[in-house]
Amino acid sequence: MRVLIAEDHERLARAVASGLRRYGMVVDVALDGDDALGRLFANRYDVVVLDRDLPGTHGDEICRSLAAERCESRMLMLTAAGSVRDRVQGLGLGADDYLPKPFDFAELLARIRALGRRPGAPKPERLGYRDLTVDTETRVATRAGRGLALSPKEFAVLECLLVAEGKPVSAEELLERVWDETTDRFTTTVKATVNRLRAKLGEPPLIETVRERGYRIGSG
């Protein structure tokens, strides 16, 4: 899951981003509304955690704009104003959920995960192919009943390939979905990660390289 944190309190934004990354999420951070809009234009996010009182372009305007454009990203609005009226107003702007500050990280994590499971979200709770099973909630992968010790990036690549249901996924798309925007676009990290994943999945091989199109699991 790729998440954008749009929050002008840098210490809070970095702390939340660090916490979400520990749960295997790909997280970008924007510290003002203009930066957030630029990132939303350039990247595809599953969930946007949006501070309402952003400098630059206000959070309300960002929310209203994304809703008008029928953006597929789910929006979780944050604000220090936590009255019922504020929550109703935020949801009326097009937000999918609303969380007042201060908040507990465990609740924020649960809400982000819930938004990621809503209709139109990229993946179900369980994925699989042949004797391979992946639980996206517990982040446990098994093959023929054997647990697989996957790194967060390996697990995320495996998710992407299974969600594609046999269609090739390009290295560029894997970079977008699994690594954040600071990653060098010319890096060989995707190839190296896929090779490690192949080795851990064992025999017979499940990941196929499709010439000039990327990688896939299944026949398409």
Residue 121 placed within a domain: no
- SS3 of 149-180: the string is CCCHHHHHHHHHHHHCCCCCECHHHHHHHHCC
Residue 44 placed within a domain: yes
Judged on CB neighbours under 10 Å (0-12, 13-18, 19+), 207 is middle
Residue 194 placed within a domain: yes
Q: How far apart are CA 60 and CA 98, in angstroms?
A: 12
Per residue in 18-60, pLDDT (tens digit) is 999 888 888 999 999 999 999 998 888 999 999 988 999 998 8
Number of structural domains the chain divides into: 2
Q: Which of 94, 116, 138 is the last residue of a domain?
A: 116
Do 100 and 39 belong together in one domain? yes
Do 106 and 138 belong together in one domain? no
Q: Which of 87, 116, 145 is the last residue of a domain?
A: 116
Do 70 and 130 belong together in one domain? no
Q: Which of 116, 142, 165 is the last residue of a domain?
A: 116
Do 7 and 107 belong together in one domain? yes
Is 7 a residue whose pLDDT tops 90?
yes
- What pLDDT is recorded for position 16? 95
Do 53 and 147 belong together in one domain? no
Q: Which of 5-9, 72-76, 83-87, 190-194 has the lowest mean pLDDT?
A: 83-87
Do 96 and 194 belong together in one domain? no
Confidence of residue 181 (pLDDT cuts 50, 70, 90): low
Do 195 and 95 belong together in one domain? no
Most confident of the following: 72-81, 87-96, 112-121: 72-81
Do 194 and 112 belong together in one domain? no
Per residue in 104-152, pLDDT (tens digit) is 999 999 999 888 876 554 456 789 999 999 998 788 999 999 999 999 8
Q: What is the DSSP string of 87-148?
A: HHHHHHTT-SEEEESS--HHHHHHHHHHHHTSTT-S--SEEEETTEEEETTTTEEEETTEE-
Do 67 and 155 belong together in one domain? no
Do 110 and 131 belong together in one domain? no
Do 110 and 161 belong together in one domain? no
Is 185 a residue whose pLDDT tops 80?
no
Do 146 and 188 belong together in one domain? yes
Confidence of residue 85 (pLDDT cuts 50, 70, 90): low
CATH number of the domain that 80 lies in? 3.40.50.2300
Residue 53 placed within a domain: yes
Most confident of the following: 57-61, 78-82, 181-185: 57-61
- What pLDDT is recorded for position 119? 55
CATH number of the domain that 199 lies in? 1.10.10.10
Boundaries of domain holding 168 = 126-217
